[in-house]
A = this chain, B = another copy of it.
């Protein structure tokens, strides 16, 4: 038996039960928002403008909460909508709206447009793909670079094909590769000519304030650049507090041009008599202001940066000089992207599973779950405690070594 095979047998004998699959905050991170569980407090149900948050109404969401998040999401507070507990819902519902009611600038509602396709930079976020697959929107992949999507390819595709109606973007600390869109990428996205007059950028700024270092990276202001370029209605901006306060009980945001916001609110008014404003008040009272938000995210960083450092250390110890094995060193976000030689990703995931270590399925970073190179493994190190990260990553190292040895 080779050393690698022996090490793997030893790993399996440990009977581990560890999980690096999903980008979920840990219990300690959720504890940072513990005051939310007592807020707003008895008798404390009025918004700053006197609105009784307990009753119906207020479709755009609480102004004081929108004010706190507006600068971080780079959307004027008046063009920002605060909703319920998930930005995925807002993305989904925005596409539903575009399917069933013509967007500003659209020649027709999308269900009447024949084929509708979105560009999917890969590797990317499986839930973005899931929304499109569920809604009958085709996905066309484009490669990611360290500066964002390959813009030559993006520009080429959107210039000719009017059925390409949008692109998915996680502009900062991208899921899963941690890429930060360069200013030039954002400028080109905002300004590029598109065959579809109703082209939209799904700007999922999920990690806007989720820094892993003290270098608080900023991306260019896509709404402003699009307006300057004469495409004010192009960006749809999304964000949420799911990985700031409580993952399941946060507040999500949607921002866009005034025309888009008016379109959105008019349709939303048929669906709801308003979002949960009590929860929005809870959040405004807890975070207080931009400085409060920054301080809160610094506390998150203290909890999770050591976990990312552990992943980095264990991978570097074993694979610094291994041809074909690379990984990302993200400055924010929730993931480390491990790239292995072509054809090995699913084998590593399989070996890990047999040893009791759950990894995100290989291929999940690509539409329809198919990574043609079978080379990408998404590691999510926030949820487990540090010692479990260490054990799980030590196991991943063993599995990858075995897969490499067997090749």
Contacts and interface: CB of A to CB of B under 8 A. Distances in A.
Interface of A: 22, 24-25, 27, 30, 33-45, 52-58, 84-86, 88-89, 92-93, 96, 99-101, 111, 127, 130-131, 133-136, 242, 246-249, 267, 270-279
A252 B270 CA distance: 16
A133 B272 contact: no
Contact of A101 (B134, B271, B276): B134
What's the dominant secondary structure at chain A's contact region?
A: loop
A224 B57 CA distance: 35
Nearest to A88: B272
Contact of A88 (B25, B99, B267, B271): B271
A24 B55 contact: yes
A37 B30 contact: no
30 contacts: A24-B56, A27-B52, A33-B54, A34-B42, A37-B41, A37-B42, A37-B43, A38-B41, A53-B248, A54-B247, A54-B248, A84-B84, A85-B275, A85-B276, A86-B273, A88-B271, A88-B273, A92-B270, A92-B271, A93-B271, A100-B111, A100-B134, A111-B111, A134-B270, A242-B273, A246-B278, A249-B276, A249-B277, A249-B278, A276-B276
Taking each of A34, A99, A246, which has the highest tally of chain B beta carbons within 10 Å of its own beta carbon?
Answer: A246
Contacts of A44: 37
A43 B27 CA distance: 11
Contacts of A85: 84, 272, 275-276
B100 A271 contact: no
Interchain residue pairs A-B with the least CB separation, the first 7: A249-B278, A134-B270, A92-B271, A54-B246, A30-B54, A130-B270, A85-B276
A120 to B, nearest CB: 15
A272 B89 contact: yes
Contacts of A131: 270-271
B88 A249 contact: no
Nearest to A101: B134
